[in-house]
Homo-oligomer: A and B are copies of this chain.
Amino acid sequence: MNKSEQTAINGIPEPTLRRLPTYCQVLRRLAAQDHEHVSCTQIGRELNLDPTQVRKDLSLAGATGRPKVGYPTGELYRSIETFLGWNDARDAVLVGAGSLGTALLGYTPFDQYGVKIVAAFDVDPAKCNTKIHGVRVFPLMKLPNLLERLHVHIGILTVPAEAAQSVCDQMTINGILAIWNFAPTALTVPEGVIVQNENLFSSLGILSSKLTAALRGAGTIYSISDARTAGKA
């Protein structure tokens, strides 16, 4: 049932989509260092990935290289960028100008990664009609009206879990097609709407359970510096 997150779009596996942006980051650096060409082996070394996997990912994104030579760095970068839809930024709105929302409003790199936040919304009257990092904050009430006028397709959700579904509904009713959800709760959306969950607590769960396992193992047989053994099993 939860096909959404794992299912391939256009035959592109989700893990591939997740890796493509990291290739962009490496390629940008290599291009700045005047590397005209780059091989899958090089990229794989930078990111600790199997070169074959890199090659398969690149081919899925439509890139082509030359045997022995590799891929032209700049061209490869641009073709991934285009594939991801990052070459020209899309407008987005953010709802929930709390600490996390504020941070995202000030996160300048987004411009380079295909997203431009054009308006923010909050229920707190104290925040409304101010600007945060140059973005105007509107009362939540105005969301439907403004969405209709602005034709924005991306919504960023940084509200508390309790408010998430209600705001989500208001977004989808008014034309939002993709929601980047930072609220730690599952959203129900109409068919066709894309939801990308960013659950910080899930990551934290992985981190702490691995650490717990490592420390547990360290206490019994291995020393702390040997925690690696506990980490692999």
Q: How far is the CB of A208 from chain B (nearest CB, A)?
A: 4
Q: Which among A3, A84, A204 has the highest number of chain B CB atoms within 10 Å?
A: A204
Number of copies: 2
Chain A, residues 107-120, CB within 8 Å of chain B (1/0): the string is 10110011100000
Pairs A-B, 3 closest by C-beta atoms: A192-B228, A2-B48, A85-B212
Asked if A49 and B210 make an inter-chain contact with CB atoms under 8 angstroms apart, the answer reads no
Closest B-chain residue to A227, C-beta based? B192
Asked if B206 and A18 make an inter-chain contact with CB atoms under 8 angstroms apart, the answer reads yes
Q: How far is the CB of A171 from chain B (nearest CB, A)?
A: 13
Tell which of B84, B184, B209 touches A20, judged by Cβ atoms closer than 8 Å. B209
Chain A, residues 158-200, CB within 8 Å of chain B (1/0): the string is 0001000000000000000110110011111111111111111
Closest B-chain residue to A10, C-beta based? B213
Give me the interface of A with B, judged by CB distance under 8 Å: 1-5, 7, 9-12, 14, 17-22, 24-25, 44, 46-50, 83-86, 90, 99-100, 102-103, 106-107, 109-110, 113-115, 133, 153-154, 161, 177-178, 180-181, 184-215, 224-233
A12 and B212 alpha carbons, distance in the complex (Å): 13
Closest B-chain residue to A206, C-beta based? B17
Q: How far is the CB of A228 from chain B (nearest CB, A)?
A: 3
Asked if B191 and A207 make an inter-chain contact with CB atoms under 8 angstroms apart, the answer reads no
Asked if A20 and B205 make an inter-chain contact with CB atoms under 8 angstroms apart, the answer reads yes
Asked if B231 and A2 make an inter-chain contact with CB atoms under 8 angstroms apart, the answer reads no
Asked if B233 and A21 make an inter-chain contact with CB atoms under 8 angstroms apart, the answer reads no
Asked if B3 and A229 make an inter-chain contact with CB atoms under 8 angstroms apart, the answer reads yes
A178 and B212 alpha carbons, distance in the complex (Å): 10
Q: Which residues of B contact A210 (CB under 8 A)?
A: 9, 17, 178, 194, 196
Q: Which among A19, A49, A207 has the highest number of chain B CB atoms within 10 Å?
A: A207
Q: How far is the CB of A44 from chain B (nearest CB, A)?
A: 7
Do A204 and B115 form a contact, CB below 8 Å, given A9-B230, A186-B46, A231-B4? yes
